[in-house]
Amino acid sequence: MKVVNSSNHDKKDNPVVISLNDIKCDFKIKSAVVLKGNQEIASQLDDLNQDAKYDELAFVTDMAANSKESFTVLFSSEKSTKVYKARTFAEMMAYNGKGKLAYITSFSAKGDENVYSFTHHHGPAFESELVAYRVYFNEKQTIDPYGKFNKGLEINATKFYPTDEQLKAGYGDDVLRVNNSCGIGAFKGWDGSNATHIQPVIEREERIISSGPVRSIAQAKVIGWEYKGNEYNMINRYTLYAGHRDIVIDVIFDEKLGNVNFSSGVQKLKENSSMFSDHKGLVGSWGTDFPVNDTIKYAKETVGIGTFIPKQICGKEHADKENYLYEISAPGKSSLRYYTTFTSKKESFGFKDDKEWYDYLKIWKSELETPCTVEVKAL
């Protein structure tokens, strides 16, 4: 296979994804090896729809501007015990009634049940070396961030709630109080004036799809979302790659959409706040607030947020009480994709102020609009 970067940007940890539906193979794929020349690089096979068959192969690779790289991919019908270095991590946990936590892969409930606190950290949590997120298990489905001082994986140790000893040792923590906003680019409805939560629904499910060396994937699923006179079955899938701070958000419906509008964007921040928009699908905010209700133990945090809605699905720009937003629509389509990202000012590797952050967002959008191309040929 060949990967081509035709852009003028160097791309570090560029994601490369192959759909196995496009691979003509006379056996069930159970493992794979990716070679760059004679060097094996970390890769990952993922089963996206839980049918016990792998759907995608993914790896990341550095791509210089205006460059081309060749790779060889070997598929096998044999399982592999090989373990690559973890560069992402995801977990979901539930309380077992005895004061202990049990690791789970999914949790589902009737749509009118209040199960927000039945799962630890209120839903799935996932991270790269740079950032961590969780997705709330309720009608908000808010994406809430965890900021780090230093690069590394922390959630397995802190469970999103570091102890006093871990905080003293330099671990990160929750850095944003999202309230009723869209937080970090959560998918919302749109009533013409305000973003709306995903309710009522018949059933909710949240799940960890994968936790691997290349990427972690979580998803929130609803059955029977009553919205603007229709009922929708919908999956919001969140993919975080190694070396990345941004999430790829895929919104998948089980039927083609009509002329219906949704929304997403960034949360308004309270103190020393600012916002940026290019009025073409990119919106960002920067500011400071207490991350939790306990304002004695916890200090204020400063964060930057960004969301990019590609032009094919981007509609009018708005601001409501909580958010800076764009309308989203995809008539005739059953899926859509957009992107969101964030930074915490306490990062030793991050951004000092809103100008640096907004400059980064412009570059981020440009890179997303000029993806690498992948050509696959059977040997």
- According to the model, what pLDDT value does residue 295 have? 78
pLDDT digits (tens, 9 = 90+) for 211-232: 999 999 999 999 999 999 999 9
DSSP 233-278: EEEEEEEEETT---EEEEEEESS---S--EEEEEE--SEEEEEEE-
Please say if the pLDDT value at position 70 is more than 90.
yes
Q: What is the pLDDT of residue 233?
A: 98
SS3 labels along 6-25: CCCCCEEEEEEEEEHHHCCC
The per-residue pLDDT for 292 is 84
Quickly count: other Cβ atoms within 10 Å of residue 39's Cβ.
7
Three-state SS at 353: coil
User: Which phi and psi angles does 156 have, rounded to 5°?
Assistant: -60, -30
d(CA 61, CA 128): 15
Q: Look at residues 366, 362, 177 and name the one whose alpha carbon lies nearest to residue 276.
A: 362
Per-residue pLDDT of 285-304, as tens digits, reads 999 999 988 777 788 999 99
Helix extents (H) in the chain: 155-158, 164-168, 354-369
pLDDT digits (tens, 9 = 90+) for 174-216: 999 999 999 999 999 999 999 999 999 999 999 999 999 999 9
pTM reported for the whole predicted model: 0.97
Long-range CB pairs of 193-198 (<8 Å, 24+ gap) are: 193/320, 194/320, 194/321, 195/263, 195/264, 195/265, 195/320, 195/322, 195/323, 195/325, 197/139, 197/140, 197/141, 198/139, 198/140, 198/141, 198/222, 198/225, 198/227, 198/234
In whole angstroms, what is the distance from residue 132 CA to residue 161 CA?
12
Q: pLDDT tens, 242-253?
A: 999 999 999 999
